[in-house]
Amino acid sequence: MMLGKKKDVSAGDRKVHNKQAGMLAIIAGILLIIAGVTGAAAWEAIQSYVEDTFGDNATMEIVFLIFILIASLGGIVVVLGGWLFMREKVRTAKFLLMLGVGMGLVGLIITVMVAIKEGTMLNLSAIGLGFVGIILSVVARSRAVAKDIKK
């Protein structure tokens, strides 16, 4: 399948695809939770930089608070996305997986970079689980098929 191409599947096949995507996403979310990878620290650092550069703003504070909350719940957000895939709420589920995986990936990369910079021992099993969780999340997201939007 090429990127950007819409999958042509029957309603029954779509349900099977979405159930498989849901199961993969739930497994991925559990792996992310076990690995303990979140992107909360990254968003806090970004918020600090933005506030130093542009000043403190109540609206910006709320936006970053939401991002940090979602980032902190990375694996849980992915599990929720898996549940939504099974309920045929594919667009919302894909959005949640994008957020959860994106935050998890940022958190994982920052964890590895900090550990290398500080010369500390990496917990390779947790990092491995995190990467497997991210890969399964991406596969789940690509496996799901949304219903056609009626015009």
Q: Write out pLDDT tens, residues 42-72.
A: 667 677 777 888 888 888 888 878 777 766 7
pLDDT bracket for residue 2 (50, 70, 90): very low
The distance of Cα 120 from the centroid of its chain, to the nearest Å, equals 26
Residue range 2-24: average pLDDT? 77
Considering the entire predicted model, what is its pTM?
Answer: 0.72
Query: How far apart are alpha carbons 108 and 75 in whole angstroms?
Result: 12
Number of structural domains (the chain) is: 1
Assigned domain for 148 exists: no
Within 10 angstroms of residue 84's Cβ, the number of other Cβ atoms is 23
Q: Each residue of 71-115: pLDDT tens digit?
A: 677 888 899 999 999 998 999 999 999 888 887 787 777 777 767
Assigned domain for 149 exists: no
Helices 74-86 and 58-72 pack at an angle, to 10 degrees, of 70
Assigned domain for 151 exists: no
Residue range 118-127: average pLDDT? 70
Task: Read off the tokens for 127.
Answer: 């990092």
